[in-house]
Amino acid sequence: MTTATKPTPAPVLTATDLDAHWMGFTANRAFKRAPRLLASAKGMHYTTVDGRQVLDGVAGLWCVNAGHGRDGITQAIAKSAATLDYAPAGFQLGHPTAFALADKLTAFTNNKFERVFFTNSGSESVDTSLKIALAYWQAAGETQRVRFVGRLRGYHGVGFGGMSVGGIDANKKAFGAQLLPHADHLPHTHDIAANRHARGQPGTGAELADALEEIIAKRGGETIAAVIVEPVAGSAGVLVPPKGYLERLRALCDSHGILLIFDEVITGFGRLGATFASEYFGVTPDLVTLAKGLTNGAVPMGAVLIRKEIYDRVTGATESGIEFMHGYTYGGHPLACAAALASLEIHSTERLAERANMLAPYFEQAVHSLRDHPHVADVRNIGLMAGIELESRPGKPASRALDVYLDCFREGLLIRYTGDIIALSPPLIIEKAQIDEVVDKLGAALKRVA
């Protein structure tokens, strides 16, 4: 069992010290009245600035799959910083670590994807995948394929492209902006009435994929560049795809010549008990977006996995010079590549995906023990991720989940909430006793908040 170590003393912050930082996806005024500040992390635990231990039930932000403070990763970062602090991995220059990482990633896919494009985040990976899809169809001479199809309640980051194909209205309405002009959305797959307390994939709902046929009939299949979905919708509250749904979506895309993109920023690197969700479900898309677990959260990094046919079409369409006018200053950064290689080594040597698969039944049993707790409307799970949906308070949506989140933090457990849904996604190094601790503390919080 991994244990926490004594924290490094943290600087003492006054209320004024908090003013300058405009925090993302945060109620800034409320947070700064009662800040929750983390000082250090090791293994399964954070330590707060006042020295309290907090069990990490969400792998930081879905990303620290191998646990915190892994020596191999920190040493790789330090070595890279001392040797090659920065070099482009594009813009007519490169460095060996980026090529080594690309080779390693393709091997992790069993060479189903033979090309990799590096980014700095999941948001950038999504926007890059959309641009690759457009470039592919331009190169193929099907210039009318400019439309995208996302899914309601889908989250694909905060770039304008990701927001456009995403299906969370609250993320868009504050900006009053015209996003990508050609985006349609499939219905989401979440049906509590039919699939309440489902364990693993729900048994009904595969036919929801057929909504793509309706969009095709309305827009014309020859105008659609790509469909993008999360295999499991994470940020919307762990919405698990019904049995047969992803297979049906793949078949429909194939029949109309549409590219299929899986957003695996959350599900990649062992979360479901397989290296990737595409492997777990046995459905191979054309492009895969990655981030988070790629570097174990230690350095910002993202990537897009691409089928060789797509790469060849785009690069082959230009006789000489730059074939794809896209890239990032820090894409393939030496420190990020070093962190990613070390992270992948840990995944391989410790067989973290297999470990997650082994723990999944125990985790499932544990989280479903919460189904009879006060105000629990639904419990669902797959791999080492779960959503516990709560009944909303009349006129106060999300307030119950917020209170549970705050209660858990006070009692030494970090969870995540979205709307009135509690999400769990612990590091894959979690022990059975720690699963029990997560569920016990969450259960106690549900009772106290009730």
Q: Answer yes or no: is 1 within a domain.
A: no
Name the residue range of residue 30's domain: 16-66+351-449
Runs of H (alpha helix) within 140-260:
160-165, 192-195, 211-219, 245-255
368 and 315 in a common domain: no
Q: Are residues 228 and 367 in the same domain?
A: no
- Residues 20, 129: one domain? no
Query: Looking at residue 310, which CATH number applies to its domain?
Result: 3.40.640.10
Could you say which DSSP state residue 233 is in?
Answer: B
Same domain as 405, residue 309 = no
**C-alpha closest to that of 129 among 148, 112, 142:** 148
CATH of the domain at 417: 3.90.1150.10
* Residue 427 CB coordination number (10 Å): 27
Are residues 177 and 53 both part of a single domain?
Answer: no
Write down the pLDDT at residue 11.
64
Domain check: are 122 and 244 in the same one? yes
Q: State the sign of the Cα–Cα–Cα–Cα dihedral 51, 55, 61, 64.
A: positive
Asked if 378 and 387 touch (Cβ cutoff 8 Å), the reply is yes
- Residue 323 belongs to a domain: yes
Task: With CA atoms as reference, report the closest residue to 150 among 237, 233, 53.
Answer: 233
Whether 5 is covered by a domain: the verdict is no
Q: Please count the structural domains in the chain.
A: 2
Residue 303 lies in a domain: yes
**Residue 132 belongs to a domain:** yes
**Spatial separation of the C-alpha atoms in residues 139 and 261, rounded to whole Å:** 18
| Rounded Cα–Cα distance for residues 67 and 138 (Å) | 43
Q: Quick one: 98 and 143 in the same domain?
A: yes
| Same domain, residue pair 337 and 210 | yes
In the prediction, which pLDDT does 176 show? 82
Q: Give the helix, strand, coil percentages of the chain, each rounded to 5.
A: 40, 15, 45
Is 130 in the same domain as 274?
Answer: yes
274 shares its domain with 407: no
Tell me the C-alpha distance between 63 and 405, whole Å: 19
The reported pLDDT for the residue numbered 1 is 47
At residue 277, the pLDDT reads 98
Q: Show the tokens assigned to 411.
A: 């009692």
Say if residue 301 is in the same domain as residue 160: yes
What tens-digit pLDDT sequence spans the chain (450 residues)?
445 555 555 566 766 789 999 999 999 999 999 999 999 999 999 999 999 999 999 999 999 999 999 999 999 999 999 999 999 999 999 999 999 999 999 999 999 999 999 999 999 999 999 999 999 999 999 999 999 999 999 999 999 999 999 999 999 988 887 688 899 999 999 999 999 999 999 999 999 999 999 999 999 999 999 999 999 999 999 999 999 999 999 999 999 999 999 999 999 999 999 999 999 999 999 999 999 999 999 999 999 999 999 999 999 999 999 999 999 999 999 999 999 999 999 999 999 999 999 999 999 999 999 999 999 999 999 999 999 999 999 999 999 999 999 999 999 999 999 999 999 999 999 999 999 999 999 999 999 999
Give the end of a domain, one of 298, 327, 349: 349
Domain boundary (318, 349, 380) is at 349
Six-digit token pair at 193?
Answer: 């009435």
Residue finishing a domain among 310, 325, 349: 349
Alpha helices in 57-119 (DSSP H): 59-62, 71-83, 96-108
**Same domain assignment for residues 238 and 179:** yes
Cα–Cα distances (Å) from 315 to 37, 111, 337, in that order, read: 47, 20, 24
Distance between CA atoms of residues 310 and 289, nearest Å: 15
Q: Dump the DSSP string for 125-145.
A: HHHHHHHHHHHHHHHTT-TT-
Q: Is 300 within a domain? A: yes
Instruction: Note whether 321 and 147 are within 8 A (CB).
Output: no
Beta strand 53-56 pairing with 115-119: unpaired
Tell me, letter by letter, the H, E, C secondary structure of 326-387.
CCCCCCCCHHHHHHHHHHHHHHHHCCHHHHHHHHHHHHHHHHHCCCCCCCEEEEEEECCEEE
